[in-house]
A and B are shown apart, each in its own frame.
Chain A
Amino acid sequence: MSAAIFAKYLSDGRRSLTGWAVGIALVGMVYGSTYPSQRENTASLPEALREGLNIDASAAGYLHASVFGIVLPLLAMIYGVTAGTRAVAAEEESGQLDLLLAHPVTRTQVAAERFGALSAGAVGVGLLVWVALLAIRDSAELTSVTPVEFLAQCLSLSLLAILFGALAIGLGAAVGRKAAVLVGSAVIGVVSYTLHAFAGQIGADWLAYVSPFHYYIGGQPLRHGFQWVDMFVLAAAALVLFGLGVSRFNRRDINS
Chain B
Amino acid sequence: MANVIELHELTKTYGTRRGLTGLTLDVRRGEVFGYLGPNGAGKSTTIRLLLDLIRPTAGHVSVLGLHPRTDGLALRARVGYLAGDFVCDGRQNVRGYLQFLGRLRGGVPQARIDELAERLGLDQSTSIKKLSKGNRQKVGLVQAFMHTPELLILDEPSAGLDPLVQQTFLDMVAEAREGGQSVFMSSHIMSEVEAVADRVGIIRDGRLAAVDTVENLRTGAVRDVEVTFESPVSVAQFSEVPGLDRLALDEAGTTLTGQISGSPDAFVKALALHTVTGLRATEPALEELFHSYYAGAEDAPRTETAPAA
Chain A contacts to B: CB under 8 angstroms:
2, 4-5, 8, 11-12, 15, 91, 94-96, 98-106, 253-254, 256
Contacts and interface: CB of A to CB of B under 8 A. Distances in A.
A104 B104 contact: yes
Interface residues of B, number: 30
Interface in B75-95: 76-77, 79, 81, 83, 85-92
Contacts of B100: 4, 8
Given A99-B88, A102-B81, A254 B76 contact: no
Contacts, number: 70
Interface in B41-91: 44, 48, 51-55, 72-74, 76-77, 79, 81, 83, 85-91
Contacts of B74: 104
8 contacts: A4-B100, A94-B89, A95-B87, A99-B143, A101-B52, A104-B76, A254-B54, A256-B54
Interface string B151-185: 00000000000000000000000000000000000
A256 B89 contact: no
Given A4-B100, A94-B89, A99 B83 contact: yes
Interface of B: 44, 48, 51-55, 72-74, 76-77, 79, 81, 83, 85-92, 100-101, 103-106, 143
Contacts of A100: 104
Contact of A98 (B53, B91, B92, B106): B53
Given A253-B53, A256-B48, A102 B90 contact: no
Nearest to B72: A106
A215 B74 CA distance: 43
Given A2-B104, A4-B103, A95-B83, A101 B91 contact: no
A88 to B, nearest CB: 14
A12 B87 contact: no
Contact of A96 (B52, B88, B92, B106): B88
A94 B88 CA distance: 9
For the complex of A and B, list the 6 residue pairs with the smallest distance between their C-beta atoms, beginning with the closest.
Answer: A104-B77, A253-B54, A4-B103, A102-B81, A103-B104, A254-B53
B51 A4 contact: no
B103 A2 contact: yes
A104 B87 contact: no
Contacts of B48: 98, 254, 256
Contacts of B106: 2, 104
A103 B143 CA distance: 10
A182 B76 CA distance: 32
A90 to B, nearest CB: 10
Contacts of A2: 103-104, 106
B73 A95 contact: no
A176 to B, nearest CB: 12
